[in-house]
């Protein structure tokens, strides 16, 4: 890797945003503070609804859960791809300072490591030492559609981790760590380096970066509206006409907003 020049640092694959920066994590990763702050207040369910309104239905990383319920996850994707353990490839790529270790050693502040493990929960894809390294680097979280080992220790670290299960085995049981910085499939959707990743107890969602500002604004506005609706429902009003609001309810809502 070290002998590479800038000239050959871009893959011919037009479709990835993978590059030297993505591999070494030297770039200015992470989200603008104002965007991050709003995303931290935006529930994933609300973001999902706004993305759906814009034609994006397949943006949920399915089948993962937070190791510790109630933890919000917000950051930009740093990707890592595992391929099935073929013994000869594990011999050449599995050991030493492999792609997995390179990614954890170079993850930047505010990044979320997103691991493609093909939904296989019969081995781990990370353990406590790597999770600690990511946390020390300032990573915003880890999402894997595979397993986690040392799960109780990892759960105790101050970094949110979403996974598909706990498993004691090392990754070599099922995986060869393959590459960092590429486009990955994770939990049934696709993640590119730099995508915005947000997670809570409902799940983890992927937001194309160019849409993040617009979507989070729309989500927070809808949250305000829904909170007001929820209060009306809690007061005993029927959903009919209120959720979604008809003209009459919308008028009252407008009045209420003005009065704030």
Q: From the annotation, which residues make up the binding site for Mg(2+)? A: 150
In the complex, minimum distance from the CB of residue 31 to a copy of itself, in angstroms, rounded to a whole number = 18
Applying CB under 8 A, does 1 fall inside the site for a copy of itself? yes
Residue 33 C-beta-side C-alpha neighbours within 13 Å: 0
Determine the size of the site formed for a copy of itself (CB under 8 A): 101
Applying CB under 8 A, does 254 fall inside the site for a copy of itself? no
| DSSP state letters, 54-85 | TT----EETT-EESSTT--EEEEEEEEEEEE-
C-alpha 217, offset from chain centre: 19
- Binding region for a copy of itself (CB under 8 A) out of 30-38, 169-177, 213-221, 247-255: 169-177
In the complex, minimum distance from the CB of residue 39 to a copy of itself, in angstroms, rounded to a whole number = 14
In the complex, minimum distance from the CB of residue 101 to a copy of itself, in angstroms, rounded to a whole number = 5
DSSP bridge pairs for 163: 65
3-state SS, residue 52? helix
Task: Find the helix or strand (DSSP H, E) in which 206 lies.
Answer: strand 203-207
Q: Which positions from 43 through 102 interact with a copy of itself, judged by CB under 8 A?
A: 43-45, 47-49, 52, 55-60, 62, 65, 69-70, 83-89, 92-93, 97, 99, 101-102
CB-CB contact of 205 with 60 (8 Å):
yes
| DSSP state letters, 123-173 | SBS--HHHHHHHHHTT--EEEESSEESSHHHHHTSSS-EEESEE--S-GGG
Rg (CA), the chain: 21
CB-CB contact of 51 with 207 (8 Å):
yes
In the complex, minimum distance from the CB of residue 104 to a copy of itself, in angstroms, rounded to a whole number = 6
Q: Residues for the chain: how many in total?
A: 260
In the complex, minimum distance from the CB of residue 9 to a copy of itself, in angstroms, rounded to a whole number = 5
Q: Which positions from 93 through 152 interact with a copy of itself, judged by CB under 8 A?
A: 93, 97, 99, 101-102, 104-105, 118, 122, 124, 127-130, 132-133, 136, 149-152
- CA dist 260 and 249 (Å) reads 17
Q: Which positions from 208 through 237 interact with a copy of itself, judged by CB under 8 A?
A: 208, 211, 226, 229-230, 233-234, 236
- Binding region for a copy of itself (CB under 8 A) out of 26-34, 181-189, 214-222, 250-258: 181-189
User: Considering beta carbons, is residue 120 or 258 the nearer one to a copy of itself?
Assistant: 120
Q: Which of 206, 212, 216, 220 binds a copy of itself (CB under 8 A)?
A: 206
Applying CB under 8 A, does 183 fall inside the site for a copy of itself? yes
In the complex, minimum distance from the CB of residue 63 to a copy of itself, in angstroms, rounded to a whole number = 9
User: Ramachandran region of residue 224, left (φ > 0), alpha (ψ -120 to 50) or beta?
Assistant: alpha
């Amino acid at each position: 890797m070290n002998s590479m020049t800038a000239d050959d640092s871009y893959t011919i694959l037009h479709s990835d945003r993978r590059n030297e920066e993505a591999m070494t994590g030297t770039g200015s990763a992470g989200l603008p503070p104002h965007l991050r702050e709003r995303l931290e207040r935006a529930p994933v369910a609300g973001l999902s609804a706004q993305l759906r309104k814009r034609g994006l239905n397949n943006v949920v990383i399915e089948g993962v859960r937070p190791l510790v319920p109630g933890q919000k996850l917000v950051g930009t994707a740093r990707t890592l791809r595992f391929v099935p353990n073929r013994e000869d490839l594990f011999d050449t790529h599995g050991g030493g300072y492999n792609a997995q270790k390179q990614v954890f050693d170079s993850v930047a502040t505010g990044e979320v490591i997103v691991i493609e493990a093909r939904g296989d929960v019969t081995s781990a894809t990370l353990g406590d030492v790597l999770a600690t390294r990511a946390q020390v680097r300032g990573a915003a979280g880890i999402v894997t559609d595979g397993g986690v080992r040392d799960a109780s220790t990892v759960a105790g670290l101050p970094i949110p981790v979403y996974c598909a299960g706990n498993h004691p085995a090392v990754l070599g049981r099922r995986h060869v760590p393959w590459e960092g910085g590429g486009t990955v499939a994770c939990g049934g959707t696709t993640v590119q380096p730099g995508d915005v990743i947000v997670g809570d107890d409902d799940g983890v969602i992927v937001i194309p970066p160019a849409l993040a500002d617009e979507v989070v604004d729309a989500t927070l506005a809808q949250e305000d509206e829904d909170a007001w609706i929820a209060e009306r429902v809690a007061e005993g009003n029927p959903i009919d006409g209120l959720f979604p609001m008809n003209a009459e309810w919308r008028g009252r809502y407008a009045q209420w907003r003005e009065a704030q």
